[in-house]
Amino acid sequence: MSAQQNGQAGSQPGPGTMKAFLIDAYKQPLHEADVPVPTVGDHDVLVRVKAAGVNQLDAGIRDAGFRQILPYRLPLILGNDVAGIVERVGTGVDRFSPGDEVYARPDKDRIGTFAEFIAVDQQDLALKPASITMEEAASLPLVALTAWQALVERGNVQPGQTVLIHGGAGGVGSIAIQLAKHLGAVVATTASAANADYVRALGADRVIDYKTQDFERELHDVDFVLDSLSGENLEKSIRVTRPGGRVVGIFGPPDPAFARELGAGLPLRVAMRALSSGVRRRARRRDVDYSFLFMRADGAQLERITELVEAGVLTPQVDRVLPFARTPEALALLERGGIRGKVVVSLA
């Protein structure tokens, strides 16, 4: 679905046009354009965007990395994190009112937060934590929901368990460390020496310098691994996990369970089964549970995350804030690496 047309049949027309950053074709640059304001379905909330988080997922979508599982129509507005103010609501909306400060990771079929407005289903939306800024709120939804769905839903992480989080200084890692520590885990993470103190301050008990140390030599009998790199890193993650432990990969390979969740057709289900067959076979040999996680939008979970933010358990990690006009630069900055936490664009 094109993000410019993410309303529903019979929805209210959008009022005029807006500025947005979009791609006209895969592997083409992100550019600014005037597009229609989204239409608002019965259960939709039209959000005036105040800030949008920038994610590696945006670059992956632009470069056709998710084309098989996310078949978007082009042109497409990018952006998967939003914080803003409710402009108006659909006739069936009963949880939000104009003027509410909200944040969300829109459903994967309705992305498009690099814009002045976005229509979001009320089920995917939550009230913004009052204690943080719009920019901080915009940094959270995708990465915090990823961490929650990995550690709580999939991992069922318990006090005293050992958790390995790869890329601890990154967007997902910096939130996952905090959440794992809150759950009572002993937290190990991979990071550069330059980021060692940073990830320790987030709650990491052990920091492994990925440039000079091999985590496979340093760790064993890990209960849960959150892998964000795939490939050889994933293979090693399986080998350091204890029998009965779990490994969740957020960059693949996709597995048959994800294909079923996606409602994929037979050719795609067969392809996903083949892509992950080697990893799943090696995990089974070690009695390790491997699964692929493509996080989903979930307003109820975001409400739980809001509670953790307000309690001081989770602190947003924002490295840079750039103005909306520099959105392509913000994405390029993230791709170059060296970012602690998130890059955010602001429409304030």
**305-334 pLDDT, tens per residue?**
999 999 999 999 999 999 999 999 999 999
> Are 120 and 61 found together in one domain?
yes
Residue-averaged pLDDT of the chain: 93
Residue 187 has a pLDDT of 98
Average pLDDT on 10-22 reads 73
pTM: predicted TM-score of the whole model, two decimal places: 0.93
Average pLDDT on 119-132 reads 98
Query: Is 207 within the bounds of a domain?
Result: yes
> Are 117 and 234 found together in one domain?
no
pLDDT tier for residue 242 given thresholds of 50, 70 and 90:
very high
The amino acid at residue 244 is: G
> Are 182 and 147 found together in one domain?
yes
Residue 271 has a pLDDT of 83
> Are 42 and 177 found together in one domain?
no
**Is the pLDDT at 245 greater than 80, yes or no?**
yes
Domain, as residue range, for 185: 143-292
Query: Is 311 within the bounds of a domain?
Result: no
> Are 122 and 157 found together in one domain?
no
**Is the pLDDT at 6 greater than 70, yes or no?**
no
The total of structural domains in the chain comes to: 2
Q: How far apart are CA 8 and CA 118, in angstroms?
A: 13
**Is the pLDDT at 9 greater than 80, yes or no?**
no
Residue 7 has a pLDDT of 38
Q: Is the dihedral of CA 234, 240, 243, 244 positive or negative?
A: negative
> Are 73 and 147 found together in one domain?
no
> Are 157 and 21 found together in one domain?
no
Average pLDDT on 106-113 reads 96
CATH number for the domain including 105? Answer: 3.90.180.10
The amino acid at residue 293 is: L
Query: Is 342 within the bounds of a domain?
Result: yes
> Are 180 and 241 found together in one domain?
yes
| φ and ψ at residue 34, rounded to 5 degrees | -95, 125
Query: Is 298 within the bounds of a domain?
Result: no
> Are 99 and 171 found together in one domain?
no
> Are 127 and 234 found together in one domain?
no
Q: Where is 226: in which H helix or E strand? A: strand 222-227
Query: Is 98 within the bounds of a domain?
Result: yes
> Are 85 and 18 found together in one domain?
yes
How close are the terminal C-alpha atoms of the chain, in Å?
28
pLDDT tier for residue 15 given thresholds of 50, 70 and 90:
low
Residue 273 has a pLDDT of 83
Query: Is 307 within the bounds of a domain?
Result: no
Residue 129 has a pLDDT of 98
Instruction: Tell me the pLDDT tens digit for each residue of 48-92.
Output: 999 999 999 999 999 998 887 888 999 999 999 999 999 999 999
Longest dimension (CA), the chain: 59
> Are 65 and 180 found together in one domain?
no
Query: Is 303 within the bounds of a domain?
Result: no
